[in-house]
Chains A and B, each alone.
Chain A
Amino acid sequence: MSIEVRNVSKRFGSFTALDDVSLEVEGGSLTALLGPSGSGKSTLLRIIAGLEEPDSGDVLISGELATALRPQKRNVGFVFQHYAAFKHMTVWDNVAFGLSVRKRPKAEIRDRVDRLLQLVQLEAFGHRYPAQLSGGQRQRMALARALAPEPRVLLLDEPFGALDARVRAELREWLRHLHEEVHVTTIFVTHDQEEAMDVADQIVVLNAGRVEQAGAPASLYDEPRTEFVMRFVGEVNRIGGSFVRPHDLDIGHEPLDGAVEAMIDRISRLGFETRVELSGADGEPIIVQITRDQLEELELERGQIVWVTPARERVFAAS
């Protein structure tokens, strides 16, 4: 089911959370809302779910106007950053909640809950209370709970934000598999560009309540339209008036066309990849990514003066 957001604005007191945001999400896709904290991404997600009301603008779910619908009527599954587990209910009852409020037949509820618990690998934990689960298990329970009533749309608000790095990576991969299996239109909020790049088909970059750019992960990385996007989706060097990714810089001992002079401050070898930290003529820091083979071939050393040449650079109009 597709989702469309039209010219949505939202203020909290004097703070503008969203400023005329429009957005289209294709049915069945997996979209990331990416942005720093305070960029309005969570507010936008809550407005789509009906948990927050926009000051102006509209939300359409599969072509139908949903702006005036209460959350109960939107048939949207929502996963909260801090799980929002019903702590007085067992895992099984948590997952069954959305079905039991819809007064589905007992046998159907039993089948569906058992199947979902299996899907999130919690079948052995049905009788436990949320307090007896780890963070990752709680979030998987919350996901099963949101999926139980077969929502048209699944919304996840920083779903892995409260978890440690290893569990995050695991759940990330797992969410992608789940999406392939269940194929429900999914939007998730994150401030982690790597997470967005890894999981999503489409990324919407938000900054200060506005959409900076929307597109496929590769196009955002290769064709950023603004300096903000370029900086947010990956590491970047500023050389003169242009921006260059660390892997788009070549190091050499000869002054090629467009090269700048720099001194090597530090060389760190991270397995196959090597990071060379330099400072330019004005002392500006430059980071270059090269391979181990290049490092050996060039015989680079700390304190050396070398020439750095951008292979691919971008210039943005002053905003």
Chain B
Amino acid sequence: MGSLANDAIAIARRARSLGARRDRAGAALSLGIVTTFLTLIVVLPLAALVWESKKAGSHGFWAAISSPEAVAALKLTLGASLVVALLNAVLGTITAWVLVRDDFRGKALVNAIIDLPFALPTIVAGLTLLALYGSRSPIGINVAYTRGAVVLALLFVTLPFVVRTVQPVLRELDVEMEAAAASLGASDAVAFRRIVLPNILPGILSGVALALAKAVGEFGSLVIITGNLPYKTEVSSVYIFGRIESGDTPAAAAVAVVLLVISFVLLLTIGVIRHVTTRHDRG
């Protein structure tokens, strides 16, 4: 009797440790897959890029990134990207709000249109924008070869990000919170600022980070409509392409590394803000 019970306990224990071992093995396997995947797809290419940039030597690296044309391109890229990210934060949030909270005919259609800029090859987007907002604009708006064109093209290709990151958050938001705020005397504006905004801010920040990353690296939609005028409308990606075409790969890599470092710092900053603004969810 006693030995039978002991056996049962031993079996149960073995089964449990087997299960635990399987869990551990599963965790190790998935971690391995992720590590390999990220190494092959992200870490190695980035390391190769840094390696390439070092071929110019520290002197050459410094010369490449401090050339006036490179600096102008970097400034434009960052400036335009930040402007576009901010515009997206506002317009994307409003768009998401309308799509979640309002009911109107054709809502499903509008919802579907949001993602189309993703499906379009960016070079086609550039051509379309040039035809519509270039010198032969059928609606009389000509922004071709100006910095306005840079912002316009970037807005087009980054449109979906904030909309798509804010939409689910807004849908999950408890509308009773706003009702509670109203019955406590808060005006609609105060309720939005103090109740809705803090709750959707993490979503907005995620969208802004994605839009920023996309804008900093954008090439295809810009290369046609901006005219790539050095010191005026030439963004870093186009400048880098120019360096590669003229055989100066180390310089191209050097500028790319700077772009990468700045993007990384920006994304990290947004990540930290996001972390701080969601601390109440972590119990």
Contact = CB atoms under 8 A, between A and B. Distances in A.
A145 B177 CA distance: 12
Given A82-B174, A86-B195, A131-B280, A51 B182 contact: yes
Interface stretch (A96-104, A211-219, A256-264): A96-104
Interface string A44-67: 000001110000000000000000
B176 A101 contact: no
Interface stretch (B41-49, B145-153, B159-167, B184-192): B184-192
Interface in B119-149: none
Nearest to B179: A51
B283 A77 contact: no
A153 to B, nearest CB: 10
Interface residues of A, number: 32
B183 interface: yes
Interface string A118-151: 0000000000011110000000001001101100
Interface string B36-63: 0000000000000000000000000000
Contacts of A89: 280
Main secondary structure of the interface of B (DSSP, over half): helix
A275 to B, nearest CB: 41
B185 A80 contact: no
Nearest to A52: B179
Interface residues of B, number: 21
Nearest to B201: A88
Contacts of B183: 49-51, 71-72, 74, 76-78, 146
B264 to A, nearest CB: 28
A178 interface: no
A11 interface: no
A146 B184 CA distance: 7
A142 B179 CA distance: 13
B283 A82 contact: no
B280 A101 contact: no
B105 to A, nearest CB: 18
Nearest to B181: A97
A51 B183 CA distance: 8
A84 interface: yes
A132 B281 CA distance: 9
Contact of B185 (A82, A84, A98, A130): A98
Given A86-B195, A87-B281, A132-B283, A97 B184 contact: yes
Given A72-B182, A78-B179, A87 B187 contact: no
A84 B283 contact: no
A295 to B, nearest CB: 45
A302 interface: no
A86 B185 contact: no
Chain A CB count within 10 A is highest, among B176, B181, B183, B283, for B183
Contact of B281 (A50, A101, A131, A148): A131
Interface in B162-219: 174, 176-177, 179-187, 190, 194-195, 198-199
Nearest to B186: A101
Interface in B81-113: none
Nearest to B184: A98
Nearest to B177: A84
Contact of A101 (B174, B190, B198): B190
Nearest to A155: B183
A106 to B, nearest CB: 17
A142 to B, nearest CB: 8
Contact of A84 (B179, B187, B194, B198): B179
Contacts of B283: 129, 131-132
B180 A88 contact: no
A49 B184 CA distance: 11
A292 interface: no
A70 interface: yes
A102 B174 CA distance: 23
B280 A87 contact: yes
A88 B200 CA distance: 11
A221 to B, nearest CB: 33
A89 B197 CA distance: 12
B180 A86 contact: yes
A87 B174 CA distance: 10
28 contacts: A51-B183, A71-B179, A72-B182, A72-B183, A72-B186, A74-B183, A78-B183, A80-B180, A82-B174, A82-B176, A84-B176, A84-B177, A84-B179, A86-B195, A87-B280, A88-B277, A89-B280, A97-B186, A98-B184, A101-B185, A101-B187, A101-B190, A101-B194, A131-B281, A132-B283, A146-B183, A149-B184, A149-B185
Given A98-B185, A101-B184, 4 more contacts: A78-B183, A80-B176, A84-B176, A88-B280
